[in-house]
Amino acid sequence: MSTAYAHFLNHTGRPIHKSTHYFLAYERHFSPFINRPLTFLEIGAGNGGSSEYWKAYFGPLARIVTLDINPACKEFEDEQVFVRIGDQSDPGFLQSVIDEFGAFDIVLDDGSHMMPHVKASFDYLYPRMSKNGVYMVEDMHTAYWEEYGGGLKSQASFVERFKDFIDDINVRFIRDNNGSVQGLDGAYCLSIYESILVIERSSFINGKMTLLGDSQRRVNLNAS
Ligand SMILES: C[S@@+](CC[C@H](N)C(=O)[O-])C[C@H]1O[C@@H](n2cnc3c(N)ncnc32)[C@H](O)[C@@H]1O
**For the chain, what are the domain ranges?**
4-204
- 51 CB contacts (<8 Å, ≥6 apart)? 42, 45, 64, 66, 76, 78, 81, 83
Please tell me the distance between residue 186's alpha carbon and the centre of ligand 1 in angstroms.
28
Residue 164 dihedral angles phi and psi, to the nearest 5°: -65, -25
Ligand 1 pocket check: which of 110, 141, 142, 195 to mutate, most ligand atoms within 8 Å of Cβ? 110
Per-residue pLDDT of the chain (224 residues; tens, 9 = 90+): 458 999 999 999 999 989 999 999 999 999 999 999 999 999 999 999 999 999 999 999 999 999 999 999 999 999 999 999 999 999 999 999 999 999 999 999 999 999 999 999 999 999 999 999 999 999 999 999 999 999 999 999 999 999 999 999 999 999 999 999 999 999 999 999 999 999 999 999 999 999 999 988 988 888 76
Please tell me the distance between residue 3's alpha carbon and the centre of ligand 1 in angstroms.
24
Ligand 1 pocket check: which of 66, 69, 74, 142 to mutate, most ligand atoms within 8 Å of Cβ? 69
Q: Strands of 196-201's sheet, edge to edge?
A: 81-85, 62-68, 38-43, 106-109, 134-137, 196-201, 187-193
- For ligand 1, atom 16, name the residue with the nearest CA: 112
Please tell me the distance between residue 110's alpha carbon and the centre of ligand 1 in angstroms.
6
Predicted model pTM:
0.96
Torsion sign, CA atoms 42, 109, 90, 131: positive
Angstrom distances, CA of residue 25 to CA of 1, 22, 29, 45:
17, 5, 6, 19
**Three-state DSSP state, 94:** helix
Which residues are tagged catalytic? 113
Pick the CATH number of 4-204 from 3.40.50.150, 1.25.40.10, 3.30.310.50, 1.10.20.10: 3.40.50.150
Please tell me the distance between residue 223's alpha carbon and the centre of ligand 1 in angstroms.
60
> In this structure, what is the dihedral angle of CA atoms 20, 25, 31, 33, given to the nearest 10 degrees?
-120
